[in-house]
């Protein structure tokens, strides 16, 4: 048999993974300028639909969109708000003042980011002569920009950093009789404002230098991707299941309404005699030529002759048939949203897992969501310090900001005490047996006791735990010697 020859190129391509695109030999070996560059995907979330699902105002999702709000609120509620920390004490005071003032808007930023996929926050320095704050020389405002107003984001193709934001907003004035459109392009060097339509006289087209030298806008993205310009809503993945849940529930309720009213079945030999004995008013109406109506209300007893009978006919409800499918769709929503089922009102242990067993999953998910926005919060805090410094002329020693978060769950004090006792006993046994050093034991115990320091530090102003232990031993020795002298 003659063996068919196969070119080396085809054999090589056959060994390549199917996940790789076949762009040709020269395209694989050499990336030249004729290859088509990748363009960042600029598609967005349907913000209107996301809000309708959250508020359950869309008629096509009425019976299934009730799951949307618990998903968003549970994640946003457990995320909480971040805490900013800076080495400079004056900078720390500024961060504490503004974070306490912005706490509600910071919480709302998480909520909007999870629901809409995008939340844009702009910092703006209000005029000094603001009549609402006469006691403040500088006031930096926290402004949440609706994502629909962000008309365009120019991105550096190499650094992937925003070069300019274009904001568009419509407004009406003169009792709603006049309307105009404002377009503002915010770049690091200048801010360009263009008004179109019937604008007020004091609003003019202008181009002014940016006093900050950077774009004071932070883009919070949910589930950011390097290939996506905008974020993803938490409701996108479960939207098909909410629609299916609505459809199944709607048809089941329609069938229940149709079949829930029983029908009366009569087995009669003498219809006229039955009516004469039980509904004589119907006989009179028939004799008058009027339509006869039979009303069972007030007739607790019906008279029948031999071989006559009556029974109610009731069709089986379709809700029983739909129960299994509705339960399946519910757990599909739970699995895809990664939100425990107790967030939807199931506070008792189910056949799948108890509340205590579900909490670790929620804790890890909330931790991932926090890590997702930590860099954005650090950038926002740094912008605040720079803007405050330029507005007041005060220079800070450091502008680096560290972000920390509260614990997702309040710890159980009894379990915490038992855990610390067990670890201390284990470390004491290891130290006495010579299996561990004292600095390793202290550094391990430091993860459970927040007031402990590192065993050794290079900062003379912040003594390590070793110096604190020695100081405690010396104090105890002096107290014991003093008590001994008093006894003698």
- Both tokens of 158, joined, read 């190499």
Mean pLDDT within 425-452? 85
Residues 365 and 218 in one domain: yes
Residues 369 and 221 in one domain: yes
pTM attached to this predicted model: 0.71
Count of domains for the chain? 3
Q: Is 109 a domain residue?
A: yes
Report which DSSP code applies to 41: B
For the chain, give the percent of residues with pLDDT over 70: 81
pLDDT score, position 349: 45
Q: Given pLDDT bands bounded at 50, 70 and 90, which one contains residue 347? A: very low
pLDDT score, position 353: 54
Mean pLDDT within 127-133? 69
Q: Is 164 a domain residue?
A: yes
pLDDT at 151 over 90: yes
pLDDT score, position 319: 52
Q: State pLDDT tens for residues 232-279.
A: 999 999 999 999 999 988 888 776 555 556 677 778 888 878 777 778
pLDDT score, position 346: 60
Residues 383 and 480 in one domain: no
pLDDT score, position 16: 41
Tell me how far apart the alpha carbons of residues 422 and 414 are, in angstroms, rounded to a whole number.
Answer: 12
pLDDT score, position 188: 94
Q: Is 253 a domain residue?
A: no
Residues 207 and 138 in one domain: yes
Mean pLDDT within 448-467? 77
Domain boundary among 378, 410, 442: 410
For the chain, give the percent of residues with pLDDT over 90: 41
Q: Which of 45, 53, 49, 46 is nearest to 69 (CA)?
A: 53
Residues 123 and 217 in one domain: yes
- Both tokens of 232, joined, read 């993803």
Sort strands 402-404 and 83-85 into parallel, antiparallel or unpaired. Answer: antiparallel
Pick 2 or 71 by higher pLDDT. Answer: 71
Q: Is 250 a domain residue?
A: no
Q: Is 16 a domain residue?
A: no
Q: Which of 367, 447, 454 is nearest to 406 (CA)?
A: 367
Tell me how far apart the alpha carbons of residues 222 and 373 are, in angstroms, rounded to a whole number.
Answer: 8
- Both tokens of 94, joined, read 């500024």
* Domain span at 82: 39-234+337-410
Residues 399 and 432 in one domain: no
Q: Is 255 a domain residue?
A: no
Q: State pLDDT tens for residues 300-313.
A: 677 777 778 877 66
Q: Given pLDDT bands bounded at 50, 70 and 90, which one contains residue 464? A: confident
Residues 283 and 395 in one domain: no
Element (H, E) at 383: helix 355-392
Q: State pLDDT tens for residues 36-71.
A: 455 778 889 999 999 999 999 999 999 999 999 999
- Asked if 453 and 462 count as a contact pair (C-beta separation under 8 A), the reply is yes
- Asked if 442 and 472 count as a contact pair (C-beta separation under 8 A), the reply is no
Tell me how far apart the alpha carbons of residues 239 and 268 are, in angstroms, rounded to a whole number.
Answer: 55
pLDDT score, position 257: 53
Q: Given pLDDT bands bounded at 50, 70 and 90, which one contains residue 13? A: very low
Residues 293 and 437 in one domain: no
Q: State pLDDT tens for residues 379-406.
A: 999 999 999 999 988 899 999 999 999 8
CA-based max dimension of the chain: 126
Mean pLDDT within 217-238? 93
Residues 342 and 271 in one domain: no
- Both tokens of 251, joined, read 């048809």
Residues 118 and 196 in one domain: yes
- Asked if 144 and 119 count as a contact pair (C-beta separation under 8 A), the reply is yes
Residues 76 and 125 in one domain: yes
pLDDT at 212 over 50: yes
Mean pLDDT of the residues in the chain:
82
pLDDT score, position 34: 45
Q: Is 287 a domain residue?
A: yes
- Both tokens of 309, joined, read 């009978």
pLDDT score, position 293: 78
pLDDT score, position 301: 73
Q: Given pLDDT bands bounded at 50, 70 and 90, which one contains residue 19? A: very low
Q: Is 320 a domain residue?
A: no
Q: Given pLDDT bands bounded at 50, 70 and 90, which one contains residue 370? A: very high
Asked which of 196-200, 319-323, 450-454, 465-469 is least confident by mean pLDDT, the reply is 319-323
In 373-415, DSSP assigns E strands to: 402-404
Tell me how far apart the alpha carbons of residues 279 and 294 are, in angstroms, rounded to a whole number.
Answer: 7
Residues 406 and 433 in one domain: no
Q: Which of 21, 17, 16, 15 is nearest to 35 (CA)?
A: 21
Domain boundary among 389, 410, 431: 410
Q: Given pLDDT bands bounded at 50, 70 and 90, which one contains residue 17? A: very low
HSE toward the beta carbon, residue 246, CA cutoff 13 A: 20
């Amino acid at each position: 048999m003659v063996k068919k020859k196969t070119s080396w190129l085809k054999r090589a391509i056959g060994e390549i993974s199917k996940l790789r695109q076949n762009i040709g030999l020269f395209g694989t070996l050499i990336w030249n300028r004729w290859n088509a560059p990748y363009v960042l995907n600029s598609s967005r979330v349907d913000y209107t639909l996301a809000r309708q699902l959250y508020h359950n105002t869309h008629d096509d999702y009425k019976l299934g969109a009730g799951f949307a709000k618990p998903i968003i609120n549970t994640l946003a509620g457990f995320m909480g708000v971040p805490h900013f920390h800076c080495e400079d004490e004056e900078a720390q005071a500024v961060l504490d003042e503004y974070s306490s003032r912005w706490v509600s808007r910071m919480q709302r930023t998480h909520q909007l980011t999870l629901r809409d996929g995008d939340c844009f926050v702009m910092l703006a320095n209000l005029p000094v002569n603001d009549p609402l704050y006469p006691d403040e020389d500088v006031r930096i405002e926290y402004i949440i920009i609706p994502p629909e107003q962000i008309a365009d984001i120019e991105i550096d193709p190499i650094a992937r950093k925003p070069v300019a934001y274009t904001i568009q907003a419509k407004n009406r004035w003169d009792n709603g009789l006049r309307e105009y459109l404002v377009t503002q392009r915010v770049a690091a060097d200048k801010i360009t404002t263009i008004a179109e339509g019937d604008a007020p006289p004091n609003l003019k087209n202008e181009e002014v230098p940016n006093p900050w030298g950077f774009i004071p806008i932070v883009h919070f993205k949910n589930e950011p991707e390097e290939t996506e310009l905008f974020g993803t809503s938490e409701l996108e993945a479960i939207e098909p299941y909410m629609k299916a849940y609505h459809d199944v529930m709607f048809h089941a309720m329609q069938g229940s309404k149709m079949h829930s009213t029983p029908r009366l079945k009569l087995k009669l030999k003498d219809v006229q005699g039955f009516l004469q004995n039980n509904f004589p008013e119907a006989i009179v109406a028939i004799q008058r030529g009027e339509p006869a109506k039979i009303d069972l209300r007030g007739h607790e007893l019906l008279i029948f002759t031999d071989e006559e009978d009556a029974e109610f006919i009731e069709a089986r409800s379709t809700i029983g048939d739909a129960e299994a499918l509705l339960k399946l769709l519910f757990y599909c929503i739970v699995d895809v949203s990664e939100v425990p089922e107790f967030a939807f009102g199931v506070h008792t242990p189910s056949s799948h897992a108890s509340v205590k067993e579900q909490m670790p999953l929620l804790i890890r998910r909330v931790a991932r969501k926090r890590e997702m926005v930590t860099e954005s919060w650090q950038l926002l805090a740094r912008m605040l310090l720079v803007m405050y410094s330029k507005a007041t002329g005060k220079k800070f020693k450091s502008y680096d900001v560290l972000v920390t978060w509260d614990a997702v769950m309040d710890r159980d004090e009894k379990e915490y005490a038992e855990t610390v006792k067990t670890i201390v006993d284990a470390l004491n046994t290891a130290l006495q047996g010579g299996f561990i050093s004292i600095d390793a034991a202290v550094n391990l115990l430091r993860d459970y006791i927040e007031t402990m320091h590192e065993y050794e530090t290079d900062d003379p102003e912040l003594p390590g735990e070793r110096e604190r232990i020695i100081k405690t031993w010396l104090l105890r020795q002096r107290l014991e010697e003093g008590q001994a002298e008093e006894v003698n």
